Amino acid sequence: MPSIVPSQHPIPGEKPEGAVLKRRIVLLGPPASGKGTQAERIQATYGLQATSTGAMLREEARSGSELGRIAARHTDRGELVPDALILELVQEWLETHNGAFVFDGFPRTLGQGEALEQLLEARGTPLEVVFFFDTPLEVIRDRVLNRVTCGNCGHIFRVGLQVSLVSDPCPDCQGPLIRRDDDTEAVLAGRLAEYREKTEPLIAFYRERGLLVQIKAEESPENVFAQVRSALEAAV
Ligand code: AMP
């Protein structure tokens, strides 16, 4: 396999020969389709900074900020947070992460997709690939109801797979495992309805732009990462 180089700036330790690594990446898909897990893997493997608008909002809510309080009114009901609020967060983040990034769960509406396109165009750093994590409904339900996150390191685990009980310590750092407030059957119904109505149109939006790569996301994290990896490293 040829060694991989980033399209503009070299990543420390990578040799500039052979294929070109895609380094401006969007992860698109329904709740619990594995976006967060794959964002972590892409970051760990290639050193590309990953960010999740959902995690940013949870952090704002924990800190008790005005933005966090407004956002929680929506997230608690499984509704999307208004575009203006999300774009404010993302714009600020992009100021310090211009040329390379992995967006997990952003954009989630056509309005966000169009705004991101313009923001990146103005910077001369267009998106290079959008992964669509195609996931059957029964897999989503199972994952949402069994998902836990470490309150300390933020790593994601599944009860019954990597840990036996929610009360177990984090396998990576021994921190406390927590369930997300919105990972319940009742809130999931709202999140799926929002996804179908507002997020699914982005699949066609990115397909038209030739950026979409469809991933079979019901497979194991290893197999999903193998699919992601081959598309990221593919010659253009
Ligand atoms: P996630 O952690 O990606 O599952 O997001 C959790 C919740 O945060 C979602 O159900 C939405 O309420 C909100 N959220 C996260 N990202 C966005 C976004 N890009 N646009 C609107 N709402 C978002």
pLDDT digits (tens, 9 = 90+) for 131-182: 999 999 999 999 999 999 999 998 899 999 999 999 999 999 999 999 988 9
Alpha-carbon span 174 to 202, nearest angstrom: 38
For the residues of 70-125, what is the DSSP string, one character each? HHHHHHTTTPPPPHHHHHHHHHHHHHH--S-EEEES---SHHHHHHHHHHHHHHT-
Decide: 58 in ligand 1 pocket, CB within 6 A.
no
Residue 108 falls in the annotated catalytic set: yes
Distance between Cα 86 and ligand 1 center (Å): 9
What is the reported pLDDT for 15?
37
Alpha-carbon span 167 to 225, nearest angstrom: 28
Helix (H) or strand (E) holding 59: helix 53-63
Contact yes or no for 102/49 (Cβ under 8 A): yes
Decide: 108 in ligand 1 pocket, CB within 6 A.
yes
- In sequence order, the 6+-apart residues with CB closer than 8 A to the CB of 144 are 31, 32, 183, 188
Alpha-carbon span 220 to 92, nearest angstrom: 34
Alpha-carbon span 100 to 169, nearest angstrom: 33
Helix (H) or strand (E) holding 25: strand 24-28
Rg of the chain's alpha carbons, rounded to an integer? 18
What is the reported pLDDT for 234?
86
What is the reported pLDDT for 12?
40
Distance between Cα 52 and ligand 1 center (Å): 8
Query: DSSP class of residue 169?
Result: B
What is the reported pLDDT for 2?
38
Among the listed residues 132, 135, 134, 130, the one whose alpha carbon sits nearest the alpha carbon of residue 120: 130
Decide: 228 in ligand 1 pocket, CB within 6 A.
no
For ligand 1, atom 6, the nearest C-alpha belongs to 54
* Residue ranges in the chain whose pLDDT is less than 50: 1-16
